[in-house]
Amino acid sequence: MTKGLNSNLLVSLFFVLFLGNLNKAQAQCIETLRLARTVYDEGRLHELPIILENCLKEGFNEEEKTEAYRLLILSYIYQDQPAMADDAMLSLLRSNPRFKIDPDTDPNELINLHKTFRTDPIYRVGGKIAVSYSLINITKFYGVNSFGDSNGSYTGNIGFGGSAFIEKDFFNNLITFRAEPSFAINKFTYSGTAFPNDDDPTEFSATWEGDVETQSWIGLNLSARYPFLEKSKLGKKLHPNIILGPSAQYLISSNSANTTNIDGGESASGADIDFLDSANDNRKKINLSAIAGIGIIIPVGKMSFVTDITYQYGLVNITKKHYSEELSLKYGRAMSDQTLNAFNISAGLMINKYSPKKLDNN
């Protein structure tokens, strides 16, 4: 018992001493940075490397380290030591890849040197989760009896999904191209009637109310993103961009819970119909869409928060077979020709991958 208590006491004492030494080192480096500013202002530029050396290795936080490197770079520039200035700039960019020049306050020498380095990210990676609202567009209606005596419609449902992405800037950062593997669950509800007789309402008819179809897709979205409002105050905070591109999806499951209510007869209901089952085979497995929308990027520390609001417009008919034994004979339904559309809202995080280097001027 006493031995355990002594061990805990020693561990606690160690952390107290460690934190005390850390705070002391940080306080010393704050004083070191103040001294470096004074030495720089007095023109004793050759003293700065020795003064800043230890704290640049350990003791400065990111903001302090950035300022220290900035002083060091300027000192090398004014001492006509271009190689040393290059090395210091490279160290700064590796330490703080988001470092940006302020054209209003920074000396021209620093601005010109900064331009000779690759400072933009070479690519970005990220991930998002998404909420969607699916919409079905019927392009040609099919029924089990006379087409004119049948009707049906789809209403949207909320679905979910997620994606990972990689993107890269091109054409002087004018356009960003993104490749985005995705997974999506789309849901929609079918309602309709068949065999109605307006002259005799008591005559046999069938209705469907709330037959929910759930589809699961894996896909690849390719998009081009064009930034706008970049020079405005709002644009500098939100970095809005226009999104345009194609999407290809592969259907991995499609199921529907069906109930048919028959006037004057027994209703039919049962287990979910698998529309990809070989006995039914109602759905095509490939879907092609066009995507348009708006994206927002908000830097948060070393990452960025990203959100996209897009509309997915289906380009192809997703119905393969209009009739099948289970759907048509048991439930009295037919599958109409239709395209899948959806509103999507997604949000996630993005990481910039930097690799600063001196540009080749040749």
Q: Tell me, letter by letter, the H, E, C secondary structure of 24-92.
A: HHHHHHHHHHHHHHHHHHCCCHHHHHHHHHHHHHCCCCHHHHHHHHHHHHHHHHHCCCHHHHHHHHHHH
- Do 167 and 178 meet the contact criterion of CB atoms below 8 Å apart? yes
- State the DSSP H helix or E strand holding residue 255, giving kind and residue range, or none if neither: strand 241-257
- Do 260 and 332 meet the contact criterion of CB atoms below 8 Å apart? yes
Q: Chain-centre distance of CA 181, in angstroms?
A: 11
Give me the chain's average pLDDT, please: 84
Q: Name the more confident of 88 and 257.
A: 88
**Residue at token pair 């040393």:** 84
For residue 228, give the 3-state DSSP assignment. Answer: coil
143-174 burial, b at 16+ Cβ within 10 Å, e below that, comes to bbeeeeebebebebbebebebebebebeeeee
- Two tokens, residue 189: 């509800």
76, 171, 350 from 128: Cα distances, Å: 44, 26, 9
- State the DSSP H helix or E strand holding residue 250, giving kind and residue range, or none if neither: strand 241-257
pLDDT tens across 156-208, in order? Answer: 899 999 999 999 999 888 999 999 999 999 998 887 776 555 555 445 455 66
Task: Tell me, letter by letter, the H, E, C secondary structure of 170-216.
Answer: ECCCCEEEEEEEEEEEEEEEEEEEECCCCCCCCCCCEEEEEEEEEEE
- How many CA within 13 A on the CB side of residue 345? 3
| Interval 258-267 mean pLDDT | 57
Query: What phi and psi values does residue 270 have, to the nearest 5 degrees?
Result: 180, -160
- pLDDT for res 166: 97
- pLDDT for res 172: 85
Task: Tell me, letter by letter, the H, E, C secondary structure of 98-165.
Answer: CCCCCCCCCCHHHHHHHHCEECCCCEEEEEEEEEEEEEEEEEECCCCCCHHHCEEEEEECEEEEEEEE
- Rounded CA separation 349/68 (Å): 30
CB atoms within 10 A of CB 198: 7
* pLDDT exceeds 50 at position 52: yes
* Domain covering 123-353, topology: Porin (2.40.160)
Rounded to 10 degrees, what is the CA torsion of 126, 349, 182, 248? -80
- Do 178 and 166 meet the contact criterion of CB atoms below 8 Å apart? yes
- State the DSSP H helix or E strand holding residue 21, giving kind and residue range, or none if neither: helix 2-41
Percent of the chain exceeding pLDDT 70 equals 82
pTM of the model: 0.79
The structural domains of the chain, with segments of one domain joined by +, span 2-117, 123-353
For residue 348, give the 3-state DSSP assignment. Answer: strand
* pLDDT exceeds 50 at position 17: no
pLDDT tens across 82-138, in order? Answer: 999 999 999 999 999 989 888 888 899 999 999 999 998 999 999 999 999 999 999
21 Cβ contact partners less than 8 Å away, ≥ 6 residues apart:
none
- pLDDT for res 15: 46
- Two tokens, residue 332: 């009295």
| Interval 38-45 mean pLDDT | 90
What long-range pairs does 48-55 form, CB within 8 A, spacing at least 24?
Answer: 48/72, 48/75, 49/75, 55/28, 55/29
Percent of the chain exceeding pLDDT 90 equals 50
